[in-house]
Amino acid sequence: MRLGWVMGPDVLLSGELFLLIVRLVRIGLPCINEGHVSYDRQSAMASISFGRAKVERVNWCRESTKYLFFTGKGGVGKTSLACATAVRLADEGRRVLLVSTDPASNLAHVFGMDIGTQDPTSISGVENLEALNIDPNAAAQSYRNRVVDPVRGKVPEEEVRRLEEELSGACTTEIAAFDEFTDLLTDDVMASRYDHIVFDTAPTGHTLRLLTLPGAWSDFLVTNERGASCLGPLAGLEKQQERYAAAVVTLAEELRTTIVLVTRPQQAALREAARTSDELGALGVKNQRLIVNGVMTNRGGDDDPLATSMRKRDREALAAMPDVLRSMPMEEVALRPMNLVGLSALRTLYEPLDLSNLRGDETRLPAVDVPTLRDLVDEIESDGHGLVMVMGKGGVGKTTIAAAVAVELARRGNDVRLTTTDPAAHVADAVGSSIAGLEISRIDPQVETERYRRQVLESKGRDLDNEGRAILEEDLRSPCTEEIAVFQAFSKAIREAQRRFVVMDTAPTGHTLLLLDATGSYHREVTRHAREGARFTTPMMRLQDPEQTKMLIVTLPETTPVLEAAALQKDLRRAEVEPYAWVINGSLAASETSDPFLRTRAEAELGLIQEVQERHAKRAFLAAWQATPPHGAAGLGELLG
């Protein structure tokens, strides 16, 4: 008996039955193999039809699990979607807590109000919704205080300083942030206050590291017999093992937790989402769904080359979607003509796209008077060598900008290395074919860690007895070993820039700042032990020297990326590193589009471009959105302007 006969042509299904049918369709059961599951691309609603029978507009939010984690490559719109989902759930009468674990959180800007870091803040205009920022840096300082304060005055001051130095690294920040994070997953009192807890997580690599920490630290605690590590006394950590294990169990429970993979209709972003899905699956986190954000809808009736190219690019990327993503529930969210800031904008995300207020006139937009990327390369080349670090939030086009600068420097006859510390490492794809004078490399954390382990065992471990070598191997299993290994490779790249151009496509903002923190720790260690009057140069000193290092901050002409770039600049200046310039990438205002939708977005860019020039950047350069993807030497050359 076919299910369609039971339903009849006009019967609406409950949300629970709908989800059951979706799952049955996906595994291909014969009883409903004539059924068709579809998703409304503009409203993120789903429908299912059997012949004449049809179930319309079932919102996936209504069937949400208690815990929702929005994750994905930086810049894909996790924050907007997490906020819109939290608002939607609260508007439907659910009690909701929205939590950000991103070091570069911008919840305050999205809602237009300060968000607490200790206690949840009620969101004005949304009954039942509260929000909380977990600040990793504050969590790390609190963690350090808990470890160090009890021993002050009881041990020599030199020992206190040594302990503080050991606790200054990236792994301490991550374990402290995870410590805060697990409270929300294991606190029964907190859980009882809310129907849903929505997490706006950090960029993919950072999130995955947080998720894998329980296993890593558990292994380290079980095998380490010395009683101390770069995290301080292990006794305190041992008490947390049960809580960490409970957090991992919660993440893996399909009835309680959903991982929402957010991506863009771009091949690189989709590959990153697939990699994230695989890695989460390996951790036992199976309940995943996909949201493709910012899809250029096919409105028809225009022949603007840029709009046509954007729609074609989106379709081709989605057609080539990795198989692991095809197998999971998916929604598409249409590109909006405005920034998703404020409650009214967030609430439109679950409504059909409104195209009634587009700029349809043919009058020219005001001219954008900003130097081009070619002008920037002219300035960089004048020094003859040096380190160029391309920084910024993930998704703003750092890889493309780094590749364009490196390719142009090499094309002009310079000796150039293009390298990356980004786990995604797409620089080779951006460049394409081999180019004379350009060497491409990658600082791979796993490779560098293994190399460092071998180096230490072969040198320091050569003359140790079995017990001593076993202790050394225990130390090298510490998660902090990776930080040290990557820092060594990073320092080598800095030295190499004394004789050639080294263009570094750095990891997303959070990772980059942790890397710079490691550099600062090394700098402090060297200066503390240097003899009075001795001459020395540390990597941090080279980073602080504008004649040796040029820091480029890449952003998009959108509100959130500009705010995040400004926050990054503030952090760099706190480390006494002055950015050389900002690059505003992907500008529609710098293009010659005639499409009303794109012209509306372009007009919204003008104020932000002016803000960057007047308030943030000492130097600003502009790269226009390209109708042809800027890949290969020719495509990257077009980006220069």
Beta strands 196-200; 67-71: pairing state: parallel
Q: Which of the residues 73, 78, 393, 550 is marked catalytic?
A: 78
Backbone torsion region of residue 437, taken as left when φ is above 0, otherwise alpha when ψ lies between -120 and 50, otherwise beta: left
Asked if residues 46 and 290 have their Cβ atoms less than 8 Å apart, the reply is no
- Taking the mean position of all CA atoms in its chain, how far away is CA 37? 31
Per-residue tokens: 447: 């490779």
Longest pairwise C-alpha distance within the chain:
90
- DSSP letters of 49-108? EETTEEEEEEEGGGG--SEEEEE-STTSSHHHHHHHHHHHHHHTT--EEEEE--TT--HH
What's the CA gap between 484 and 528, in Å, rounded? 19
429 is catalytic: no
Are 36 and 49 spatial neighbours (Cβ–Cβ below 8 Å)?
Answer: yes
Residue 201 is classified by DSSP as P
**The two structure tokens encoding residue 424:** 């995604």
Catalytic residue among 72, 77, 205, 520: 77
Strand partners, 440: 418
- 3-class DSSP string for 298-341: CCCCCCCHHHHHHHHHHHHHHHCCCHHHHCCCEEEEECCCCCCC
**The residue to which tokens 């195209």 are assigned:** 355
The residue annotated as part of the active site, out of 64, 71, 79, 509, is 79
The number of CA neighbours under 13 Å toward the Cβ of 293 is 25
Percent helix, percent strand, percent coil in the chain, to nearest 5: 50, 15, 35
d(CA 276, CA 490) in angstroms, rounded, equals 25
From CA 248, how far away is CA 242, in angstroms rounded? Answer: 10
560 is catalytic: yes
Element (H, E) at 378: helix 373-381
CA distances, 291 to each of 41, 77, 204, 344 (Å): 10, 10, 15, 21
Q: Which of 258, 277, 512, 560 is catalytic?
A: 560
- Residues paired with 289 in a beta bridge: 260
Catalytic, out of 43, 64, 71, 80: 80
What is the rounded distance in angstroms from the CA atom of residue 314 to the CA atom of residue 246? 40
Please pick, among 102, 135, 200, 505, the residue that the annotation labels catalytic. Answer: 102
3-class SS at 370? Answer: coil
| Backbone Cα Rg of the chain | 26
Do 92 and 59 form a contact (C-beta atoms < 8 A)?
A: no
102 is catalytic: yes
Annotation marks residue 78 as catalytic: yes
Structure tokens at 250: 């919660």
φ/ψ of 330, rounded to 5, equals -140, 140
Distance of alpha carbon 233 from alpha carbon 237, whole angstroms: 8
Element (H, E) at 254: none
Q: Which two tokens stand for residue 314?
A: 């989106």
Q: How far apart are CA 143 and CA 153, in angstroms?
A: 19
Reported as type and span, the H/E element at residue 599 is helix 596-611
Tell me which of 72, 74, 75, 395 is the catalytic residue. Answer: 75
Going by C-alpha positions, the residue among 100, 103, 68 that lies closest to residue 507 is 103
Residue 394 a catalytic site member:
no
Q: Is 36 helix (H, G, I), strand (E, B) or coil?
A: strand
DSSP 552-577: EEEE-SSHHHHHHHHHHHHHHHHTT-
Q: Which residues are catalytic?
A: 75, 77-80, 102, 560
